[in-house]
Structure 1
Amino acid sequence: MKKVFFVDDEPLIAQGLSSITDWLQYGIEIAGSANDGETALQQIKEEPVDLLITDIMMPRMNGLELIRRVKQIHPRTRFIVLSGYEEFEYVKVGITLGIENYILKPINIDELESTIRHIRGDWEREELNLFRYEEDWRVLRSNILQRWVLGEIEGQEFKHRAELLGIPLNYKYVQALVFRVISEEKPISRLYRLHGLSEECGVIARETIDSEDEVICFPDADEDLVMLYVSDDPEHHQSILENAPATARRISEMTGLPVWAVSSAVSSDFYGVQDSYKQAKQVFQQCLISCQDRTVYMNGPLTKVEESHSVIWDQEQYVRLLIDGKQEPIIEFIESMLLGQFENDIIPRSECMNMAIQLMLSAKDMEDRPDYSEVFAALARMNTIQGLIRHVISVVQRSLGNRDTVQQEYSGHVAMLLEQVKEHYAEELSLKTLSQKLDMHPNYLGQLFQQEVGLSFSDYVNQYRIEKATQLLIHTDQKTAEIAVSVGYTDTSYFYRQFKKYAGVSPTELRHMYTK
């Protein structure tokens, strides 16, 4: 909040200025008042103010001299001059000193408030420009640091830039810790200002280190928070590792999100920090975590996680579930495959991702016009097994929805018949039986169905069953007789005739064509 100070040799005016308007509505608090310029100057030296409202004619030091003296020590202070009479010379001097306004007594409240609003607008613009300058400086500093840890800047250039940007180079040992704030729905930059978050995290990190050491904190291109701990004593790095989990917890509390922290070996070459940074980043590239806790801390390079993991799964069973289209057993299958196969807290990323991709592609392949981009686009943001499972389920559910979407609006009765076919196509379906549930005559219901769908009810049921049988023939190794029963045909010869009628080829011919 901004501060205002009043100066007038008439005590009633100096005190009355505090109540002449509601200063708080302008974001201004009253810092105090004085009855002469000398006293005012002493108080302002001890406690700077943003706005000074002063009379001209006062004992010991007049208002214009007070303004000159205050500007020398606090150039950003703004001024409003009060006077009992209008003197052109005073106005002229005041203008050269940069006053905001020259207000005659008795004070016109509207004019005073108008001046305050104008000053407040100037303050807001100054703060915005200052923010932009500071933000530009932060971005430039981060870009230089990113180039440094990636080995994309020459030593001499980095040394020169480091001096300009206040990056300390007078330390011997460097250790990289990388903190990943996990947000798999949105990028972190959509939730926080990365450079502001980085500065706050730097403050947290500095609380845990020796006063002789330093922390260089910045966001990298992947929106991870990189903390470079620099010291002249290699023994200090042990305490850094001990405090890393606590730092991760503080960052998690601050953001409200899980945090995954990875440390690396100490580098004894300040310009060789690239290896230290690369070690930490490789962990994110090679692992997923279970994230059962809010924070995960990993110290050192990977060992067991790098071992291959052979995934065994029943693709035929999964395809049958997809063809059947019931979501609950599909979700249970997906969860059992990913959670059941990968039970450790640290999970090999490549094997788990391959499994997830197979689950998603099996569903997408059944669409008429599949969009595969949604399968892969979000995978780079996945850091936890739980997040990956949610992504797989979401893609599969949309795929089922795309596959079963009805392209036009139907009446309630016809929509009910379509839903019955979808849910019970493998069972006996009779228009007569269904019409009784709707309390309608079967002939009228059949005419309504034909009119809206363009097929008779029996033709639609047969076509739907043949589509399901086609998917099973293509995607599984089930015997044709078993497929016939599973889609609602107890008579195999009748199934063959219907299949040839709707598909144009026999089941055997179709399977042979697809295999070939």
Structure 2
Amino acid sequence: MSTEPVAGKYQVVIVDDELVIRNGLRSVVDWGTLGFEIAGVFGSASELLEWLPTGTADVLLVDICMPGMDGLQLIGNAKACRKGLVPVVLSGYDNFEYAQAAIDRGVYGYLLKPVREAQLEELFHRLRRLLDDRARHQALDTAVAESDAARQLMLLLHEGTIDPSGLQRLLVAYPTLSHFPSARIMVMEIVPARYCAEESSIDGKIRAALEDLEAWLRQVCPAVRLPDRPIIPVVFTGDEQESLRIARDCFRRAEAMISDRDVTLSAAVGRPAGRLDELHFSMVSAESELQRRRYEGTGILIEPGEDRRQTPIHEDVEYGELDDFAGFAHAVVETDPDTAQQVIRHLFSNLTDECVSDLRLVETRIWSFIEQVSSQLTLYGIPAEIARRQLYTAFERSLSWPTYAIAAEAMDVEVEKFLGVTEGYRHDPRNAAIMDAVRFIRANLAEDISLEQLAERAQMSNSYFSRLFKHVVGEKFKDYLINNRLAAAKQRLSETSDKVYAVAESVGFRDHHYFSDVFKRKIGVTPLEYRHRSRSGKS
């Protein structure tokens, strides 16, 4: 275990039972540039839990498979000890069960081993924005709670002089009061009604509609608009049925007011609160329900009820296979936008059918799709890092639209751009030489393969071949060779009963002890443990 004094940035603690992985995570990215610092590095759950009561931590980066207390158990204990701690999980397994269990425990990210530098940076860029937003909301909570209007409203509520059927000002942070009329919060969001390439134009229409809606609401109640977000929350007092009736009436009137514009209203009602200090939970509930608009659509009032999200319809299919990543890669190579767009629409259609509203699960699915596609495209001379970056940016832009249906329309445009970017790479003769090396590696994993051998085959110097290989493939030659051998080993362990030493030799490892060490370091479990879990349906 190691700790160090930190200040001024969000604090990260790392827990993994493998020293090599701990050290690798500590040095793989420039944490300071991302806005984070490493507050502590621990080899077990017990070490972290002993340190946590007196330490400072904002993010927990934890291995899911450790001896003793595993990562999922540790997350529950650590969050109970440190309020607001954001967990990020590492795993050698990419099945839905593990991802769903992690999401159920409030995990922000689910990273598959071996972790790529670009993937880690992307996740922590998003996490930094989340933590910044949370800090701004906490500041807003304090400001609202201390305002004169808030104090006056709390006094009126305490004295019981407010008409329970009226609309009142939203309070985000509240001191505890012993008596409070039942209430619930509705959040209303102005969103685009359809895809529009001119985002600045639609942004202007959203702002105008927001201003009109806010002015109308203030005629019946003071409303609070969240900063930098097109959302207006309002609170309705009254018993459970009465507050819901008023919310429905308010939604219908607000929807009618903006019906003649290129925007639409999306709204959700939170669960009722019986005390003033519980209104925050009604707000959280409403915002959570609002995410269902991604698959239910806009122009409706989403009410609390049974969560429609299910276990995926195709439980036995891994991420990416449902979405035909090979077909997408082939369409890119053939410059066939129609087929590529059809694959992307199938991806979003699956998300709709499975009622997935949690963006963390969406990102897990999409990142797997991107990884599979990028790997396929390297066979045709398209650099993996270029493909990853372009596709990730395209999906990120598309998912900013309110529903999966509109996101699919936005991706039609992004796919056209992606095909234009990648076309030039396929005709570069230098890339063709690297692709020949990649095909040679995949076809001869059981043989002794060296960088010098492949550089000579490509008629390049060793140093130039090494640099070009990393640029095109996205990994160093040695890492790519080992990762492909491990992937082949995982398949043989799952599908055959061969001895571990025989599996090792069949994929190019001459020393089966070294193979077991590398497998455990990269995948997180021993080869025999992986075989057992894969056959019991957990890998």
TM-score range, shorter chain: 0.3 to 0.5
Looking at CA atoms only, which structure, 1 or 2, has the larger radius of gyration? Answer: 1
Q: More relative contact order in 1 or in 2 (CA 8 Å, sep 6+)?
A: 2
Give the TM-score normalised by the residue count of structure 1: 0.43
